[in-house]
Amino acid sequence: MFEEQFAQVPSHPPRPLDALPGLRFSKAISRSALLLPLVFVGFFILIPFSIAVSDPTMRLALGPTRTAQGKVLSVVNVSACRREGAHRIAYAFSPEPGREVRGTATLCEESPYYSIGAGDSIEVEYATGNPAINAMRSGARDDSPPFFLIFLMPLFILAMFSPMFVPQIRELLRARRLFRKGNLSVGTVVFVKRRTSAAWPGWPGNSSADVYVKYCPAGGESREATAWCPNDWLVYNLVPGATVHLAYTEGKPDRVALLEAFLR
């Protein structure tokens, strides 16, 4: 099968990967199959950035800031800090002469500034260019969302979709290595077994099969090995006893590359 095409493949390594177009990474996973995961990953990448833009605490933590001396205007007892006693303070500061900006902060009992009162001085941190975004320099309760945990959400999405792509990429890398550095041989098909792959509702995912072949390495005895085949047309046309072309290495002779699967 395909004797004319394989006659042009170099018999000795290292071989150029361009000799088999199917070994390109773009052939392993179709672009349409990547669309759904990319939409989910892009959506969850935007979540941390949207929170960082809208949450004042995040803007203070990630953006350029300045500090100024402020004064406590009032202190009110509130129920916060896991339903324990807390103080809600209102303060004012001047980011520039002639301009006053006000803010509030919640102090829990463990805060070193819990006992401050009206008229006391505090240090205020504010966003450069927008003093309305401000907070006490230290000691106030931090109500910001767990930014770094949210930032990991795209990684969780990638991990969820990885079973759909990692097996194909791993097998392609093995086939590229075997073809480039391994030995070539002719074998015969023993049987073909469909491989179960992960899928998403409404999306079939990538189909592939394990082709069990028998071949005889140079100077060795006949042995059986397994080859990965992502080509559905080829799988349907492989019958027991069909002649196929293989690439293998002496280190792992039980895993071979089926070259017919990468002709296109």
Domain ranges of the chain: 3-33+162-262, 56-144
Report the pLDDT value the prediction gives residue 83, as an integer from 0 to 100: 66
The strand order across the sheet containing 84-96 reads: 99-108, 84-96, 65-80, 121-127, 130-136
Report the pLDDT value the prediction gives residue 256, as an integer from 0 to 100: 92
212: left (phi over 0), alpha (psi -120 to 50) or beta: beta
Average pLDDT, integer, range 10-32? 80
Which tops the pLDDT comparison, 149 or 222?
222
Look up residue 50 and give its two tokens.
Answer: 């949207």
Cβ-contact 88, 106 below 8 angstroms: yes
Whether 56-144 and 3-33+162-262 are alike in CATH topology: the answer is: yes
Which tops the pLDDT comparison, 160 or 92?
92
Report the pLDDT value the prediction gives residue 52, as an integer from 0 to 100: 66
pTM of the model: 0.59
**Tokens 């290495």 belong to residue:** 249
Report the pLDDT value the prediction gives residue 110, as an integer from 0 to 100: 81
CA distance 140 to 108: 7
Residues 6 or more apart from 47 whose CB is under 8 A from it? 150, 153
pLDDT at 196 over 70: no
**109: number of Cβ within 10 Å:** 11
- pLDDT single digits (tens) 93-147: 998 888 899 988 888 888 888 888 898 998 888 888 888 888 887 655 555 555 5
Percent of the chain with pLDDT over 90: 19
Q: Which of 13, 29, 14, 19 is nearest to 170 (CA)?
A: 29
In one letter, which amino acid is 53?
V
- Domain covering 56-144 in this structure, CATH number: 2.40.50
Residues 6 or more apart from 171 whose CB is under 8 A from it? 208, 228, 230
| β-bridge pairing 183-195 and 223-229 | unpaired
CATH topology of domain 3-33+162-262: OB fold (Dihydrolipoamide Acetyltransferase, E2P) (2.40.50)
Percent of the chain with pLDDT over 70: 83
pLDDT at 46 over 70: yes
pLDDT at 214 over 90: yes
Average pLDDT, integer, range 186-209? 73
Q: Which of 203, 207, 154, 156 is nearest to 35 (CA)?
A: 203
Look up residue 118 and give its two tokens.
Answer: 């009206």
pLDDT at 56 over 80: no
pLDDT at 205 over 60: no
CA atoms in the 13 A half-sphere facing the CB of 229: 28
pLDDT at 198 over 60: no
**Tokens 């998403």 belong to residue:** 200
At 215, is the pLDDT very low, low, confident or very high (cuts 50, 70, 90)?
very high
Report the pLDDT value the prediction gives residue 151, as an integer from 0 to 100: 64
Q: Which of 212, 175, 169, 143 is nearest to 23 (CA)?
A: 175
Q: Which of 248, 260, 221, 213 is nearest to 13 (CA)?
A: 248
Q: Over the chain, what is the mean pLDDT?
A: 81
